[in-house]
Structure 1
Amino acid sequence: MDTIQIDGWQGRLGEGLAPRQLLAVLWAATDKTAKEIARLMDCSHYTVKQQLDDARFKLGNQRTTRGLCLEAMRRGIIAPLVLALFVGGEHAQVRPIRRPDAPRTQLVVRAQRLDEAQWAA
C-alpha cells in the first residue's frame, strides 16, 4: 500500500481520497493555512480550498478543516507518526484534575452615592 509522509503525518493512498486531496489534508493536519499549503504544493490557495472542500464532501460533509482531519484519522486515512521513547522502567502517572469540594463563593461589594441631604441626616 502506498503512503505519503509529511511533517510527522502519514497518509494512505487508495482509501477514498485523490493524491492531491490527501496531500492537502496532510498539510492541513499540520495546522497550516490554505495559503501556506498552496505555497508548499505550488498551486493557488483557491485550488487548495477546493481540494479540501472535495475531501470534506467525500468524507461525509464535514463543516471544518479540523473535522475533516479528525474524520480522516477516524477512518485510518491519515495518522500521526509517533515515536514513543521510554527512559528507564518508570512511567509518569497521569494526575486527575482536582475540583474543589465546595462551590466557589463570590464577594460582591455595592457602592452607593450619597446626596448632600443624606449626609446632613
Structure 2
Amino acid sequence: MNQMIISGPWVGFLGKGLAERELSCVLAVASGHTDKEIAKMDGLSPRSIKGRIESAMFKLGVFKRSALVAEAIRLGLIGFSTGTFPTPEPHDETKTTQGILIA
C-alpha cells in the first residue's frame, strides 16, 4: 500500500521514485510556493529546499520547476486530492470585460 502526503489541493504518492522530503517540496512547488516560503513552512534553509528540488528535478529529468510539476503529474507521483476544492462561482453573463480577453 502506497503512503500519501496531502498538501492543500495536492496529494503525493510515496514509493514511486522520490524521497519523502523531495515529494513534499514538489507538492509545495505545485502550489506555487517559492524556496523561501517552503523553507519557512518546513523549518529548513532555502538552500536545503533548493537542493531537494534540484534532486527531484534530476530524478525526473527536467530543468524547470514547471516541468517538474508536469512530469510528476504525468508519472502519477502527484495529483489533485478530492474534496478540497471550493465550488466555483456561477458565471455571470452580464459582466463585461472591455478590451480584456479572459480565457
TM-score, normalised by the number of residues in structure 1:
0.66
Q: Which amino acid aligns with 1:70?
A: A
Find the residue that maps to 1:66 and give its secondary structure. Answer: helix
Structure 1 residue aligned with 2:73: 73
Structure 1 residue aligned with 2:96: none
The gaps in structure 1 that reach 5 residues or longer are 87-91, 93-121
Query: 1:85, 1:9 → 2: CA distance?
Result: 14
Structure 1 residue aligned with 2:97: none
Structure 2 residue aligned with 1:28: 29
Q: CA deviation at 1:80?
A: 1.2
Query: 2:20, 2:7 → 1: CA distance?
Result: 13
Deviations 1:55-96 (A, max 9, x none): 000001x1111110110000000001244899xxxxx9xxxx
Query: 1:66, 1:42 → 2: CA distance?
Result: 24
Structure 2 residue aligned with 1:107: none
The gaps in structure 2 that reach 5 residues or longer are 92-103
CA-atom RMSD in angstroms: 1.9
Find the residue that maps to 1:68 and give its secondary structure. Answer: helix
Q: Which amino acid aligns with 1:79?
A: G
Structure 1 runs of 4+ aligned residues shifted over 2 Å read 82-86
Residue correspondences, number: 86
Q: CA deviation at 1:48?
A: 0.5
Structure 2 residue aligned with 1:10: 11
Q: Against the structure 1 CA distance between its residues 35 and 2, is the aligned structure 2 distance closer, same or farther, given a 3 Å change threshold? A: same
Q: Which amino acid aligns with 2:28?
A: W
Which of structures 1 and 2 has the bigger CA Rg? 1
Q: CA deviation at 1:18?
A: 0.4
Query: 1:50, 1:65 → 2: CA distance?
Result: 13
Query: 1:70, 1:30 → 2: CA distance?
Result: 12
Structure 1 residue aligned with 2:46: 45
Query: 2:29, 2:39 → 1: CA distance?
Result: 11
* Greater length-normalized contact order (CA 8 Å, ≥ 6 residues apart): 2
